[in-house]
């Protein structure tokens, strides 16, 4: 989930061309072993006064088809309502639309933001499990919990992890030193340190949520995949991302 800060010429040209020819553009971002793929529209707000739509966690081809059908329905004057079941969008499985909180725009809708250069609304298309349960329902398949983050909530904790996940830090972080180095190891474990080369005699195991509560800017590195890392020079500096490979 990179924050798309630069819209390269070829991508901008493709987006503009698709919007001119079809009224909208559909972007797809690949997933990996940790992060789900997702697809999103660009152009619905401008051309049809309808919020853009984003969907997560289904096969890319399915998301493209579903989103294309939704966009075509909007072209034909369909206006999707929030928190209402729609049975004709995804193979007779119910879906709902929820409003995307603005805090998630830099994380997932960077291309849209660069295209519009102004505020725009967005909905998330949320699908059910095979039993017809939505992610916010008690009987939803827990194995699919992180296949589609719910972008209308959890703005205080964006990680694709349980809040009580145990992560490694050191006593110096717990004493108040700012976290400047974050590692997401190949085995899935997380390390968050105030030093580049911590002494593991000082290691402490704490919940990920407790560290995020103390420093909300840790949410900016929620999308680190396995083997990735991030660092910053100071607590107020921008994060720099790099390969970790351990």
27 plus 94 within the same structural domain: yes
Domain assignment of residue 1, yes or no: no
User: 65-95, pLDDT tens digit by residue?
Assistant: 999 999 999 999 999 999 999 999 998 899 9
pLDDT in tens, 116-163: 878 999 999 999 999 999 999 999 999 999 999 999 999 999 999 999
Indicate the residue among 88, 113, 147 that finishes a domain.
147
The count of residues in the chain is 246
Question: What are the C-alpha distances in Å from 7 to residues 4, 16, 29, 115, 140?
Answer: 7, 12, 14, 8, 37
**Which domain, by its residues, includes 81?**
9-147
Residue 154 maps to a domain: no
Same domain, 187 and 224: yes
How many domains are contained in the chain?
2
Q: Is the pTM value of this prediction over 0.85?
A: yes
Does the residue 156 lie in any domain? no
Q: Quick one: 136 and 184 in the same domain?
A: no
**Is residue 119 domain-shared with residue 175, that is, in the same domain?**
no
Mean pLDDT of all residues belonging to the chain: 94
Residue 65 domain-assigned (yes or no)? yes
Residue 87, CB-side half-sphere exposure with 13 Å CA sphere: 2
Residues with Cβ within 8 Å of residue 234, at least 6 apart in sequence: 178, 180
Rounded to whole angstroms, how far apart are CA atoms 66 and 224?
28
């Amino acid at each position: 989930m990179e924050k798309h800060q630069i819209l390269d010429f070829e991508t901008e040209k493709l987006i503009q061309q698709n919007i001119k020819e079809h009224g909208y553009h559909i972007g797809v971002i690949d997933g990996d072993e940790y992060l789900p793929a997702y697809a999103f529209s660009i152009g619905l707000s401008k051309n049809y006064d309808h919020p853009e739509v984003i969907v997560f966690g289904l096969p890319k081809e399915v998301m493209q088809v579903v989103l294309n059908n939704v966009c075509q329905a909007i072209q034909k004057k369909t206006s999707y309502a929030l928190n209402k079941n729609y049975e004709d969008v995804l193979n007779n499985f119910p879906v709902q639309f929820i409003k995307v909180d603005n805090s998630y725009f830099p994380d997932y809708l960077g291309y849209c933001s660069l295209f519009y250069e102004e505020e725009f609304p967005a909905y998330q298309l949320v699908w059910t499990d095979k039993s017809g349960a939505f992610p916010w329902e008690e009987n939803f398949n827990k194995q699919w919990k992180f296949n589609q983050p719910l972008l209308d909530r959890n703005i205080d904790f964006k990680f694709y992890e349980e809040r009580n996940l145990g992560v490694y830090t050191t006593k110096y972080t717990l004493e108040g030193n700012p976290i400047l180095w974050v590692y997401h190891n190949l085995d899935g474990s997380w390390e968050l340190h105030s030093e580049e080369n911590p002494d593991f005699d000082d290691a402490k195991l704490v919940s990920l949520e407790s560290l995020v509560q103390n420093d909300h800017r840790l949410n900016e590195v929620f999308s680190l995949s396995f083997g990735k890392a991030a660092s910053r020079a100071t607590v107020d500096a921008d994060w720099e991302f790099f390969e970790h490979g351990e």
